[in-house]
Structure 1
Amino acid sequence: MSLTLENLPPELFRYILTYLSPEETSALAQTSHQMKRVTRDDKIWQQYFLTRYTYTVCKPQYSNEEYLSDSVLKLTKPPNDCTWQEYFIQRSFQDQHIRLLLNEIMSTRKNRRYTYTVCKPQYSNKEYLSDSVLKLTKPPNDCTWQEYFIQRSFQDQHIRLLLNEIMSTRKNRIYNAKLIVSTYGLLTIDVLKRYLPSFRNTSTSLSLDSRNLTREYYSLELTRLISREIGLQLLDEMENRTDMHTEGKALINGLFVVQCFHPYGIFLSLKRFHSIGKRLVDDPVFPSLTVNEKCQLILSTMKAENFCAANNGEGYYNLENSFLFSTFNGKPTIPLTLVSIFCALAEECGLIARPLSFPGEVMAQVDQSSISQNTSENLSPLIISVFDSKILSLDEMNNRLVNILDRPLTHPLPITPITEFVIRSARNMVNSITQGSTSLLNSYGLYAALAVLKILGDGPLPFTSSSMLNVLKEHFPMDLHFFQRLYSNLTIMNESLQQIQEQDLNPLPIEEKRRNNESCPKYYIGQIFQHLLYNYWGVICGWDLTCMASSLWQTNMGISNLTRGATQPFYHILADDFSQRYVAEDNIDTLAFASIENEEQKNLIVQKLCSADEIGKQFERVDMINGKFIPNIELRNEYPDDFV
């Protein structure tokens, strides 16, 4: 007897269809009634959906029980009782919408800084915030995986269209950025991550001259905007919640909210705590250990995992120490961060650990009463100095704090609320900045600190409104909504912010800088050069016919000592240390790059320049053959004679 398609089991069809794309499967369904029936198997569309999409919710939910970075990735069934096929279709339409909006943003600057309220994350006491946005067990809205997959595909298309619009024109960029973020939230990152070098598969990475640097730049800016917006929304939720826990995941989640304002904020995953905790608990010896021994094991494990204490030297007050990102990448950190990590690992190991805060000290307290097998035994909590990897008695702690406390401490010790813990982190950031930190993170730390102190605190803000307006214009042009909220009661600031908004709707014409025969600059936009005195590499981003810097700057930099002084052309450049500088023509050597015979060495120089966040703001791509960067459309309009 010959086999027909009707005789084949569904599992075999599912296996065959895994070799087809969703689009090819949809086309196959149109060939016959039988193929239409076969391709409606929802298990197939569930697999399609889970293969294509990472983020499945618009907003994370705050939890004390899981990591926030994981919470947006879970999906076991389509939402709203739909099939996977229906959910796939729904997401495809959403993808198309996102792409359209993204193109709109890329071509215009309008409305890129408003408040985003549609995709609001929810704070959770039960899970890590980094996990809470990753949940999707079924397609939303009761559709099938196929429908959800199609829906996301349309959303992706819309996002890409809007991104192209942002890249190609200055008008309406703010508006379109707001539209993307408020409509799609985290779902947008599934599209944008394809354009971020850090997410590309190394086996399929693009060559230098194939990368669209402008697309990468705006994709990264939108991703960071989404992360900061999530941070603001989570701070609002923390302020309004009445059930904020003080132990375990809740503490690290509080610092994760601060991490959202870091340049790579939302991408930090806290899943590492799960694996560390599981390894400790699965050890056959672990159940027989006392609470004291378990705490010692956690402390030694933290050191082995490179969660180490910063020395009380110059680097102790570095701004990096206040962000989890640096700690997770092996940088020694401060007591506040170490205590939050200890409390998270303690919960993974079945212990209850809470923070204790005193002037100049942050420690952890571990409850023993819930662990004790003897119900009549009243054991005092353990006091852990995580920074010193020591377990202290109450007397030792009082001796340590004798010059700080008005009276000796007694049990029960005062547990620090999560909001106060986060505020303390913000004040650490302010302290680092005011002590003269020169970190590239200064603007991000300032933003994070102001957000925390404005939403959770009740005291005066530490910086003037004028200084913050300068930070906004230079570093966060999309975040107009936050600064409107920050200074809503200041008429002068509102007028300045309103002007920024109006210029986004109707950008001022770009003032052309033309070359002339009398004082024509020798070098051109996009040329790679080496500084004759300091030997660093850079790329030319702009020029002035004479030095336009202040007289004080000219004096400090010794401009009068140059052969042609301040009357020669000066160039705005981006250096390979990612700094932006102003360089005299006498100090620029463009022949140095062309004279390098080793192509690998040339590639390394260009790769370093391409790693600068700001490179795509001005340049579209690299021309490796001619050894230069190709300006994007805005820079071409400003310097029309430099691009022929």
Structure 2
Amino acid sequence: MAHLALPIEIYEHIFQLLVPSPTEDADVFALAQCAATSSFMRSIATANLVWMAHYQVRYLASNPIKETERIAACNGSYFKLYRMRRLLDRRALDTLQDAIYRKQGRCTTGRLFAYDLGIDVHDVLRTQSVMRWPRNIAKTDEPALDSLTLDWIARPYWAREAMTVITKLEALRLWRKVVVQPQYVSFAEGFAAFSGFRGVSPQQVIKDLNALCKRCESHLRAKGVSLESGLEDYDVVNISNEICLWMREEGFRLAAGVDYHRMENHFLDCVITTHRDTLPLSLVVIFVSLARHLGVEAHPVGFPQHVHVLVRGHVPSTSRFFFPGFPERGEEYIHLDIAKSDERLVLPRSHLISILEGMGVTNSVQQGQLLQPANVRDMCGRAGSNVQHSFHTELEALANPNGPRYSYIRDCVHAAMSAFVMLSTPGTRGATTMLMHMLNYVEDAHRLDWCLMQYEVFPNDVGHHTNDVGAVQVRDQLIHMYELQETNELQAKRDADSMPLAVDGTNVEFHVGTLMRHAKFAYIGVIADWNTKCHQPEQWMREMGVDMLSRGRNQPFYTVFAMDGTVRYVAEENVEVHTLPSDTWGTIRELLMNAKNIEMHFDRAEVGKNGVGKFIMGADLRREFPGDVLLAQKELGELQLFILAKTEQSVVVPPGVTHPTAPWKPPWPVPPWPPIPPPPKPPVSEPVPPLPYPESPWFP
């Protein structure tokens, strides 16, 4: 008996009930399975109306040029667009797998993320960057793991590093544009670049700021404020006052007390969302963006100690009555104090000049320069200086359990240093000196960022000043660091044959990954490295009284990532194994939240049946301490050994731990899909696009 087919509209309605999700694939899988059943179902299950929502909820960021090419290649089909982006996601996850399980080649991995994949894979990396805690220590609102994976610590860390190298490239190119083509970079875009050093795309920050501008416009129009410049009641001072009122209603105020120096106040993504009690400069950025969106000509003024705003427009007599201090002519520049607008909005020019004279600036030319609109380059440089001023205040707050993490402060300082180098005049001594300081930060943590130093920061700083001795030294050091990471193999300190002895025959009692407690000072940490004897300068050993220890300087010394965020160098006689079976997982969580660089060097943490907790080494440590891997296996109990094909190194896996899965594959049958045509080639008359890796005369 033949069955009547349902109307197409019913199928479309059913498919539209599938809930789009940025992370879950169940509904997408159902659609793909339907599309593979028959040509009739395929025509419905691949319709734009069905796939548009799934595409838009998953992919929020994209390269505008590449997205235009993809849309043209797919003829506007969201089904094909979704497939193309998921294939990009697969490449990104495979590359992330390489970063986790291979130490050598991470500089090349950084180039792949920054220049080949770019912002198009930022969304899939964000899904990997969320820490998923073991079920027994996860808080109520945190993602939890039902079964531990081999890289539950390392994967979020390297995903964040991959996101950051992508957004940093976006930021650095914005700052380069500020120098070369400042007329094409807005005031807000220059400031949004700082957020790129925290893994937040400047493109997304500007989108959020534009949404804020539209909300402000809707509010002012609903309130009856005249925003058409041709009308008689158009008043820039009244508009500015209404903008300030709206900002205060939305929570944008001047921070006070210890909150004034918080690092988040310097980053526009935080100011828009969580830190609206902020700095005068950040308030000026918000106000200028709102005013320009409403058609008001507004500029920042880099006034000493207190930045404010300059607006231009017609001032009716009513504003002259409420805001005294204006000259008599009808159109002029007006200085506005945004940070203290609730006390006094308008700043008379005579008042500002008297302040400058009190500072010793009596020359009228210099006064005029300090009262004129500032350019984007100068204001971004000022923002970088403000970040550095907040650095010492935040260091004091590290002792606070609710204070910032060391890695966060480090990234903020790196942003300030990069801004100084990118916005300074190429070849200057100060820029070269700052570049040398930046190498220390890159070497300390930013393992994927070295490609940016090589291709973006260094050429911009040095320019054509090839005779700069300092620049040559920086180049040589950078090349040396690159070669160590890409090619040189580390010598094993303890191999599988010499356990528990080091390769030189010295007995080293503890191994890397051990949770320890200091015998005298009682702080807790995790061992990250060891030497068979003290490897510190003579002066350091004298200051620390190393020779006064019972075993002196010739005993093993351990590098320890301590709970307070410091890195300690501890003699073996002061090391005790931390064994608190009822609190081991809690200790592991506290260490991950507070200690420095754990996520970079360790893949995961485990607790054995005997209550002993261990951090399991990552790729950068396994090659140096293969014997320590087996010692950890012995202490944790009955374990299995898996051989990772990517690393060719033994990895300890306890029962119930998931082995690294195969490279990510789409959850739908690929063969039935017809091949997608490649993006169209540009006409011959158009300029050839640049190579994915910029050429640099300074590097081979």
Give TM-score, length-normalised by structure 1: 0.74
Cα deviations by residue, 1:58-106 (Å, 9 ceiling, x for unpaired): 679xxxxxxxxxxxxxx9x995445xxx4xxxxxxxxxxxxxxxxxxxx
Q: CA deviation at 1:324?
A: 3.5
- 2:423 is the alignment partner of 1:456: yes
CA contact (8 A) 1:170 1:507 kept: no
Q: Which amino acid aligns with 1:231?
A: A
- 2:627 is the alignment partner of 1:641: yes
Q: Which amino acid aligns with 1:640?
A: P
Q: CA deviation at 1:144?
A: 0.7
Aligned length: 560
Q: CA deviation at 1:151?
A: 0.8
Q: Which amino acid aligns with 1:616?
A: E
Tell me which of 21, 31, 38 is aligned to 1:25: 31
Q: Which has the higher contact order (CA 8 A, sep 6+)?
A: 2
The equivalent residue for 1:417 is 375
The equivalent residue for 1:628 is 614
CA contact (8 A) 1:59 1:186 kept: no
Query: Could you tell which deviates more after superposition, 438-447 or 566-575?
Result: 438-447
The equivalent residue for 1:253 is 189
Matches within 5 A, 1:431-510: 440=406, 443-445=410-412, 447-458=414-425, 459-462=428-431, 464=433, 466-477=436-447, 478-479=449-450, 480-481=453-454, 482-485=456-459, 486-487=461-462, 489=466, 490-510=471-491
Cα separation, partners in 2 of 1:496 and 1:411, compared to 1, 3 Å: closer
Instruction: List gaps (5 residues or longer) in structure 1.
Output: 61-74, 87-141
The equivalent residue for 1:128 is none
- 2:605 is the alignment partner of 1:619: no
Matches within 5 A, 1:138-287: 142-197=75-130, 202=141, 204-206=143-145, 209-210=148-149, 212-241=152-181, 243-244=183-184, 250-262=186-198, 269-270=208-209, 273-274=212-213, 277=216, 280-281=219-220, 284=223
CA contact (8 A) 1:208 1:607 kept: no
Q: CA deviation at 1:8?
A: 4.1
Cα separation, partners in 2 of 1:54 and 1:174, compared to 1, 3 Å: same
Q: CA deviation at 1:225?
A: 0.8
Measure, in 1, the Cα distance between the counterparts of 2:182 and 2:552: 64
Measure, in 1, the Cα distance between the counterparts of 2:248 and 2:492: 56
Secondary structure of the equivalent of 1:222?
Answer: helix
Q: CA deviation at 1:367?
A: 2.9
Cα deviations by residue, 1:191-211 (Å, 9 ceiling, x for unpaired): 211221269994643369446
Q: Which amino acid aligns with 1:636?
A: R
CA contact (8 A) 1:450 1:461 kept: no
CA RMSD across the alignment: 4.1
Measure, in 1, the Cα distance between the counterparts of 2:442 and 2:2: 73
CA contact (8 A) 2:585 2:613 kept: no
The equivalent residue for 1:516 is 501
Measure, in 1, the Cα distance between the counterparts of 2:546 and 2:145: 42
The equivalent residue for 2:323 is none
Q: Which amino acid aligns with 1:31?
A: T
Cα separation, partners in 2 of 1:12 and 1:318, compared to 1, 3 Å: closer
CA contact (8 A) 1:526 1:630 kept: yes
Secondary structure of the equivalent of 2:212?
Answer: helix
Q: CA deviation at 1:429?
A: 4.4
Cα separation, partners in 2 of 1:281 and 1:212, compared to 1, 3 Å: same
Cα separation, partners in 2 of 1:4 and 1:507, compared to 1, 3 Å: farther
Cα deviations by residue, 1:533-557 (Å, 9 ceiling, x for unpaired): 4443321112222222223223333
Give TM-score, length-normalised by structure 2: 0.69
CA contact (8 A) 1:319 1:429 kept: yes
CA contact (8 A) 1:487 1:493 kept: no
The equivalent residue for 1:136 is none
Cα separation, partners in 2 of 1:504 and 1:544, compared to 1, 3 Å: closer
The equivalent residue for 1:72 is none
CA contact (8 A) 2:236 2:314 kept: no
Q: Which amino acid aligns with 1:382?
A: I
Q: CA deviation at 1:146?
A: 0.6
Measure, in 1, the Cα distance between the counterparts of 2:247 and 2:130: 31
Cα separation, partners in 2 of 1:393 and 1:209, compared to 1, 3 Å: same
Identity of aligned residues (%): 20
Query: Could you tell which deviates more after superposition, 621-630 or 515-524?
Result: 515-524
Cα deviations by residue, 1:248-297 (Å, 9 ceiling, x for unpaired): xx323221113322465657554673476257426637569965455445
CA contact (8 A) 2:494 2:501 kept: no
Cα separation, partners in 2 of 1:456 and 1:595, compared to 1, 3 Å: closer
CA contact (8 A) 2:301 2:370 kept: no
The equivalent residue for 2:671 is none
- 2:16 is the alignment partner of 1:15: yes
Tell me which of 37, 42, 53 is aligned to 1:47: 53
Measure, in 2, the Cα distance between the counterparts of 1:510 and 1:462: 36
Instruction: List gaps (5 residues or longer) in structure 2.
Output: 21-25, 134-139, 227-232, 320-327, 399-405, 631-700
Cα deviations by residue, 1:351-406 (Å, 9 ceiling, x for unpaired): 443111233332112334289999x9715443222344432222222222223241
The equivalent residue for 1:595 is 580
- 2:575 is the alignment partner of 1:575: no
Measure, in 2, the Cα distance between the counterparts of 1:335 and 1:14: 50
Cα separation, partners in 2 of 1:296 and 1:534, compared to 1, 3 Å: farther
Cα separation, partners in 2 of 1:519 and 1:184, compared to 1, 3 Å: closer
The equivalent residue for 2:589 is 607
Cα deviations by residue, 1:496-534 (Å, 9 ceiling, x for unpaired): 333333344423334323542975333332222333444
Cα separation, partners in 2 of 1:561 and 1:505, compared to 1, 3 Å: closer
Measure, in 1, the Cα distance between the counterparts of 2:17 and 2:53: 13
Q: CA deviation at 1:451?
A: 3.5
The equivalent residue for 1:426 is 384
Cα separation, partners in 2 of 1:234 and 1:631, compared to 1, 3 Å: same
Q: Which amino acid aligns with 1:26?
A: A
Q: CA deviation at 1:150?
A: 0.8
Q: Which amino acid aligns with 1:378?
A: G
Cα separation, partners in 2 of 1:494 and 1:381, compared to 1, 3 Å: closer
Q: Which amino acid aligns with 2:474?
A: M
Structure possessing the higher radius of gyration over alpha carbons: 2
The equivalent residue for 2:695 is none
Measure, in 1, the Cα distance between the counterparts of 2:395 and 2:280: 19
Q: CA deviation at 1:314?
A: 8.9
Q: Which amino acid aligns with 1:196?
A: S
The equivalent residue for 1:323 is 267
Cα separation, partners in 2 of 1:296 and 1:588, compared to 1, 3 Å: farther
Q: Which amino acid aligns with 2:603?
A: E
CA contact (8 A) 2:263 2:394 kept: no
Q: CA deviation at 1:186?
A: 1.0
Measure, in 2, the Cα distance between the counterparts of 1:322 and 1:463: 24
Matches within 5 A, 1:46-65: 46-57=52-63
Cα separation, partners in 2 of 1:308 and 1:583, compared to 1, 3 Å: farther
Measure, in 1, the Cα distance between the counterparts of 2:605 and 2:369: 65
Q: CA deviation at 1:348?
A: 5.5
The equivalent residue for 2:229 is none
Cα separation, partners in 2 of 1:521 and 1:303, compared to 1, 3 Å: farther
